[in-house]
């Protein structure tokens, strides 16, 4: 049997992990799966840095075009990230009859529909296990293990950097800035950490999970997204007192063909499964109509876990090449009945921290505005007294519509007794 030849584009952290794995485990793959994989070429602009791995003379080249145009290469592994030149290289590889493995969530979230069409046109595959959840096999989980289910909900912690930052802020009471620095030092953050912090990296990933779960391409601009930049130590502490932990959650829900997809910091119950996910770990909690609740948990970033996912795709495609079959990944039938709902239409419990004058009657005014907007209060705490000056008042609500919540907060923030912008968190049990 002819060897399946692999070309890797991008020899950074993940690329190094993939090469290490292939060097160590090739014999195992041959023995266990009958797959004769061979590392053919690696392209990277940086030929100088010592990656601590021995590779044969001439295997590392600087020109990625050489890989996508090499007739002897069967699978191209794109690990450079970003939109261009990744997009053009992947298209060229597919046009040249190669299948592609990528970890590039930004590219797939923005251009996935176009790229998968292109792959279909050339009867080739794009596999992307490493794009969500690092080493957690969530793409294969949704596509294969849970294929029998209608997925009702996904609650996911799918950005290691922000989870690490929030965990450190909570445990060590350190500032956002110091926690971010330490996430960068640990190598979790994206090259541009704004993608992590703004929630955009999680948005890219939930686009992919939601598209597979719903059978409809979800567009990135349909995902409501908030980051963790404004998370304040004071709310982490109030949350703790109230039995919650703040997590950056990516959420997908489907009910009666109405789909909700969003990313936002959320207060989750401190006894629930998601609260226990700390540091750079990721977790994806799903509910399917037959499987019920299921939790995937593991390292969502880093050299080895991400390489584990990339190589699993290399093996999948290799087996498909050997058997002469390809399996298009995302269905090509837009599910027209399903509609994305706007953020105003979602329903949630809320946490509010009002900054208001400590004066008789203020609380009843706030309660009045909330009541007028169909928001029912479940508990209230006022910390300390500061007569005539501003104090924080924390309110938890029962479920309400987001649009009603926003109308109420607009009114409250304009009242003359209000001395600061109201802080709002969505609250969930899980």
Burial 337-349 (b: 16+ CB within 10 A, else e): eeebbebeebebb
Active site residues: 205
275 contacts: CB under 8 Å, gap ≥ 6: 244, 245, 247, 268, 269, 430
Q: How far is the CB of 352 from ligand HSE (least distance, A)?
A: 29
Tally of CB atoms within 10 A around 316: 20
CA angle at residue 384 from 381 to 386, to 5 degrees?
120
Binding mask 101-140 for ligand HSE (x = CB under 6 A): ---------------------------------x------
- Binding ligand HSE by CB under 6 A: which of 11, 116, 188, 351? 188
Q: How far is the CB of 282 from ligand HSE (least distance, A)?
A: 7
Name the one range near ligand HSE by CB under 6 A: 39-47, 54-62, 182-190, 375-383. Answer: 182-190
Instruction: Write down the number of H helices and E strands in the chain.
Output: 13, 18
- Binding ligand HSE by CB under 6 A: which of 74, 110, 125, 196? 196
- Binding ligand HSE by CB under 6 A: which of 104, 159, 167, 225? 159
- Closest alpha carbon to 167 in 186, 180, 151, 154: 180
Tell me whether residue 27 or residue 191 sits nearer to ligand HSE (CB atom).
Answer: 191
- Closest alpha carbon to 412 in 370, 384, 359: 370
By CB under 6 A, tell whether 301 contacts ligand HSE: yes
**Distance of alpha carbon 248 from the chain centroid:** 10
Tell me whether residue 10 or residue 288 sits nearer to ligand HSE (CB atom).
Answer: 10
**Distance of alpha carbon 319 from the chain centroid:** 28
172 DSSP β-pair partners: none
Burial 392-424 (b: 16+ CB within 10 A, else e): bbbbbbeebbbebbebbbebbeeeebbeeebbb
Binding-site residue total for ligand HSE (CB under 6 A)? 11
Name the one range near ligand HSE by CB under 6 A: 155-163, 310-318, 356-364, 382-390. Answer: 155-163
Q: How far is the CB of 256 from ligand HSE (least distance, A)?
A: 32
Q: What is the DSSP letter of 90?
A: H
Name the one range near ligand HSE by CB under 6 A: 78-86, 119-127, 139-147, 157-165. Answer: 157-165
Q: Where are the beta strands (DSSP E) in 198-243?
A: 224-225
**Cα R_g (the chain), whole angstroms:** 24
By CB under 6 A, tell whether 189 contacts ligand HSE: yes
Tell me whether residue 161 or residue 210 sits nearer to ligand HSE (CB atom).
Answer: 161
By CB under 6 A, tell whether 160 contacts ligand HSE: yes
Q: How far is the CB of 190 from ligand HSE (least distance, A)?
A: 4
Name the one range near ligand HSE by CB under 6 A: 113-121, 153-161, 269-277, 394-402. Answer: 153-161
Tell me whether residue 7 or residue 298 sits nearer to ligand HSE (CB atom).
Answer: 298
Only one residue has tokens 């090449």, namely 321
Strands 75-78 and 151-157: unpaired
By CB under 6 A, tell whether 161 contacts ligand HSE: yes
CA angle at residue 240 from 372 to 236, to 5 degrees?
80
Helix (H) or strand (E) holding 352: strand 347-357
Name the one range near ligand HSE by CB under 6 A: 33-41, 188-196, 286-294, 352-360. Answer: 188-196
Name the one range near ligand HSE by CB under 6 A: 2-10, 78-86, 87-95, 154-162. Answer: 154-162
- Binding ligand HSE by CB under 6 A: which of 70, 110, 129, 190? 190
Tell me whether residue 35 or residue 130 sits nearer to ligand HSE (CB atom).
Answer: 130
By CB under 6 A, tell whether 201 contacts ligand HSE: yes
Q: How far is the CB of 234 from ligand HSE (least distance, A)?
A: 25
Helix (H) or strand (E) holding 321: helix 303-323
Residue ranges binding ligand HSE (CB under 6 A): 134, 159-161, 188-190, 196, 201, 300-301
């Amino acid at each position: 049997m002819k060897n399946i030849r692999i070309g890797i584009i991008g020899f950074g952290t993940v690329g190094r992990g993939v090469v290490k794995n292939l060097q160590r485990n090739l014999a195992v793959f041959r023995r266990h799966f009958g797959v004769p994989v061979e590392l053919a070429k690696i392209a990277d602009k940086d030929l100088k840095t010592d990656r601590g791995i021995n590779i044969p003379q001439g295997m590392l080249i600087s020109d990625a075009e050489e890989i996508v145009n090499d007739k002897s290469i069967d699978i191209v592994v794109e690990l450079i990230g970003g939109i261009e030149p990744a997009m053009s290289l992947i298209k060229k590889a597919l046009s040249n009859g190669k299948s592609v493995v990528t970890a590039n969530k930004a590219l797939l979230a923005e251009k996935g529909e176009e790229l998968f069409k292109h792959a279909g046109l050339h009867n080739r595959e794009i596999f992307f296990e490493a794009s969500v959840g690092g080493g957690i096999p969530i793409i294969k989980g949704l596509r294969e293990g849970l294929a029998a289910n209608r997925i009702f909900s996904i609650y996911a912690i799918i950005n290691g950097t922000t989870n690490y930052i929030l965990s450190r802020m909570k445990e060590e009471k350190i500032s956002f800035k110091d926690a971010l620095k330490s996430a960068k030092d640990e190598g979790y953050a994206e090259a541009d950490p704004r993608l992590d912090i703004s929630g955009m990296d999680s948005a890219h990933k939930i686009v992919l999970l939601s598209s597979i779960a719903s059978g409809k391409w979800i567009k990135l601009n349909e995902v409501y997204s908030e980051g963790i930049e404004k998370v304040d130590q004071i709310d982490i502490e109030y949350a703790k007192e109230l039995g919650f932990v703040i997590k950056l959650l990516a959420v997908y829900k489907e009910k009666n063909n109405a789909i909700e997809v969003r990313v936002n910091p959320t207060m989750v119950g401190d006894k629930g499964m998601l609260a226990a996910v700390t540091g750079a770990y990721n977790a994806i909690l799903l509910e399917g109509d037959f499987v019920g609740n299921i939790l995937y948990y593991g390292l969502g970033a880093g050299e080895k876990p991400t390489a584990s996912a990339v190589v699993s795709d290399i093996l999948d495609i290799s087996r498909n090449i050997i058997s002469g079959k390809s399996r298009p990944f995302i269905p090509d039938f837009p599910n027209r009945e399903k509609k994305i709902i706007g953020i105003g239409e979602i329903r949630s419990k809320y946490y509010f921290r009002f900054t208001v004058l400590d004066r008789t009657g203020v609380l009843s005014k706030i309660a009045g505005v909330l009541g007028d907007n169909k928001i029912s209060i479940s508990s209230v705490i006022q910390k300390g007294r500061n007569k005539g000056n501003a104090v924080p008042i924390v309110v938890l609500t029962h479920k309400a519509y987001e649009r009603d919540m926003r109308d109420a907060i607009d009114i409250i923030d304009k009242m003359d007794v209000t001395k600061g912008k109201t802080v709002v968190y969505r609250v969930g049990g899980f």
